[in-house]
Amino acid sequence: METTRTVTSIAPASRALEVIGGDLTERSLRRYLEGIPGVDAVGLEARAAALGTRSIKTTSKAWALDKIIELTDLTTLEGSDTPGKVRSLVAKAMVPDPDDMTCPRVAAVCVYGDMVPHAVEALGSAHDDGASGRINVAAVATAFPSGRSSRSVKLSDTSDAVAAGADEIDMVIDRGAFLAGRYGQVFDEIVAVKEACRRADGSFAHLKVILETGELVTYDNVRRASWLAILAGGDFIKTSTGKVAPAATLPVTLSMLEVVRDWHRLTGEKIGVKPAGGIRASKDAIKYLVTVAETVGEGWLTPHLFRFGASSLLNDVLLQRQKLSSGHYSGAAYVTID
Amino acid sequence: MSRLAVPKTYKLYIGGKFVRSESGRVYEVSSRKGGFMANAAKASRKDARDAVVAARAAVSGWSGTTGYNRGQVLYRIAEILDGRRAQFVEEIAASEGVSASAAAAQVDEAIDLWVWYAGWADKYVQVAGNANAVSGPYFNISVPEPTGVVAVVAPQGSASLLGFVRAVAPVLVSGNAVVVIASEQAPLAALSLGEVLATSDVPAGVINVLSGSPAEIAPWLASHADVNALDLLGAGDLDWVDLQIAAAETLKRVLPPESGPDAGAASIDRITFFTETKTVWHTKGLL
């Protein structure tokens, strides 16, 4: 018989309480996550490959290219980042193609936490949370990209970024704990970071939970981690940091979209998905749009529910836009060097 | 017992790989007498686009090598070409309807021309560059640098190998990467040369060979913003004025078509035309 001493209570999160039940424990969480059916890996990859064969042409392509820009988190996450680099990133986010004023703005700029003030300052009146045409500031936090630091460091990393004006926090999960089966620890941490996203006025910065699927090894783990992140209160689930190969792949993103679809059916709540890292060509990005539309519906193709984490993708999309508008192929000399 | 013939399908040579046309099209290459010789891929505008991407990626590496090294690599092409003389002689004799000795003479001339251009790689800067006269205590030096990606329409008439070499070899000397549309009627010499290139030391993407219709592909290359120069040597039968107009849109250097047996004959001008002059200023040490 189970004794109460072995039952360790974990931080409450309203979603988990509703779905798993009142006595939220490490044990009940584990039972729930391990009860999720496995992924048919061959079927998943075949489905993703089939979705990647759609031919998107002319007006649909023009729509898709603009949509990709609207859904992009323009990112710079280098140790060599400077305030100047962030300012030029912001300038590009606001006016991606100076020769074509019909070009939409990106959804957000994504920077390290200490660069948030510079991004906010550079955006000025273009900085806003939610309004269309305005640009959010996303900050990576919780000892990105490895996530190897103490809980208190991760939480202050998060609250610092929020206090500096970040609208979105991209946190990394503790992959070591997840792979060791300590789901409760991962869960607790997401709940705590979510709490750290609370602003002075009581509202929350959006929380994106990076699963780093390249380190989770199997599709079963990706599916389990997706459920875990959503149960713990994530607003978005994000594939990768971009620092580990493989980063975002189409099958992994498809499996995460399936979790989001199932969660929507279960609760009516919409969770966002962000593939990040390794998406460099417009052609690849269009495959993701098709996959989203076919899995969760076109309604998901808004900046609130789907994002691309990318840096070099934007230039390729701009080249394709120039090709469509001018009728001849463009070249790298006609976009900025980032 | 008679052997079954093995009809060959030549592919495009893009980025150091032999690829089918993205369009999936092929066309039949006939000998001068009308007999079937081989199938060749019929390149589309997207193959041209891919070739430009491959060429652009190759420019920095190829132009970054020393002239001495480029000369060695180009000489190596001539060496391998010489080792495969028999194949070229046979293909040229069949596709152009000339005698074996005339074909052999053409191959020899093509090989000699490679060697001649290879020799220029570490010398043309000395001829085309200059220490400019100034009236002050400083140096003013002009040096030619490769222009970048050059699109070439190879000669479409007789002498398919020699014409190809005359068009392509000088462009490579200074460190440009080239996308070349081979002769439509007689592409085999160019495509076989691609097989020579694949086994030589030329970095992938430095030379990209497209077979197919120049009338279809050339306009896309002429208007392509990532192409820096256009050699219309073999474009005499195309609407080449339109190609020049399209090229002017992005300020490309353009060489007009030439005809006759001396079209594209060996000349250092064909090397220096595809270069940009960089002029630098430097102080003299006042000790």
CA of B220: which chain A residue's CA is closest?
A328
Inter-chain residue contact A330 with B226, CB threshold 8 Å: yes
Q: pLDDT (tens digit, 9 = 90+) per residue, A85-132?
A: 999 999 999 999 999 999 999 999 999 999 999 999 999 999 975 667
Residue B100 lies in a domain: yes
Instruction: Phi first, then psi: give them for residue A200, nearest 5 degrees.
Output: -60, -35
The boundaries of the domain holding residue B40 are 16-283
Residue B192 lies in a domain: yes
The pLDDT confidence band at residue A4, using thresholds 50, 70 and 90, is: very low
Inter-chain residue contact B49 with A329, CB threshold 8 Å: yes
Q: pLDDT (tens digit, 9 = 90+) per residue, B53-71?
A: 999 999 999 999 999 999 9
Mean model confidence pLDDT for chain A: 92
Inter-chain residue contact B223 with A328, CB threshold 8 Å: yes
Spell out which residues of chain A touch residue B223, defining contact as CB-CB under 8 Å: 327-329
Mean model confidence pLDDT for chain B: 95
Least Cα distance to A11 among A233, A259, A237 occurs for A233
The pLDDT confidence band at residue A7, using thresholds 50, 70 and 90, is: very low
| pLDDT of the residue at A166 | 95
Quick one: average pLDDT of B137-164? 94
CA distance A260 to A296: 8
Best interface-test mutation with A: which of B59, B150, B250, B251 has the largest number of A CBs within 10 A?
Answer: B250
Residue B133 lies in a domain: yes
Quick one: average pLDDT of A51-70? 94
Least Cα distance to A248 among A202, A216, A206 occurs for A216
Q: Give yes or no for A334 touching B (CB within 8 A).
A: yes
Residue A1 confidence (pLDDT) above 80: no
Q: Which of A123-137, A240-254, A260-274, B71-85 has the lowest mean pLDDT?
A: A123-137
Inter-chain residue contact B52 with A332, CB threshold 8 Å: no
Q: Give yes or no for A332 touching B (CB within 8 A).
A: yes
Q: Do A169 and A139 contact (CB within 8 A), yes or no? A: yes
Residue B11 lies in a domain: no
| pLDDT of the residue at A20 | 85
| pLDDT of the residue at B158 | 82
Residue B1 lies in a domain: no
Which has more confidence, A338 or B149? B149
Best interface-test mutation with A: which of B221, B224, B245 has the largest number of A CBs within 10 A?
Answer: B224
Inter-chain residue contact A331 with B225, CB threshold 8 Å: yes
Q: pLDDT (tens digit, 9 = 90+) per residue, B227-279?
A: 999 999 999 999 999 999 999 999 999 999 999 989 999 999 999 999 999 99
Percent of chain A at pLDDT > 90 equals 86
Percent of chain B at pLDDT > 90 equals 93
How many domains is chain B built from?
1
DSSP structure string for B24-49 = --EEEEE-TTS-EEEEEE---HHHHH
Which stretch of DSSP H or E encloses residue A88? helix A83-94
CA distance B195 to B108: 18
CA of B149: which chain A residue's CA is closest?
A331
Residue B25 lies in a domain: yes
pTM confidence score: 0.91
Residue A10 confidence (pLDDT) above 90: no
The pLDDT confidence band at residue A3, using thresholds 50, 70 and 90, is: very low
Spell out which residues of chain B touch residue A328, defining contact as CB-CB under 8 Å: 220, 223-225, 246, 249
| pLDDT of the residue at A130 | 60
How close A46 gets to chain B, by Cα (Å)? 23
Residue B287 confidence (pLDDT) above 70: no
**What tokens were used for B155?**
């000669």
Residue B65 lies in a domain: yes
Residue B272 lies in a domain: yes
Inter-chain residue contact A332 with B49, CB threshold 8 Å: no
What CATH number is given to the structural domain containing B171? 3.40.605.10
| pLDDT of the residue at A133 | 73
Residue A211 confidence (pLDDT) above 90: yes
CA distance A303 to B15: 37
Residues of A that are catalytic: 170, 238, 274
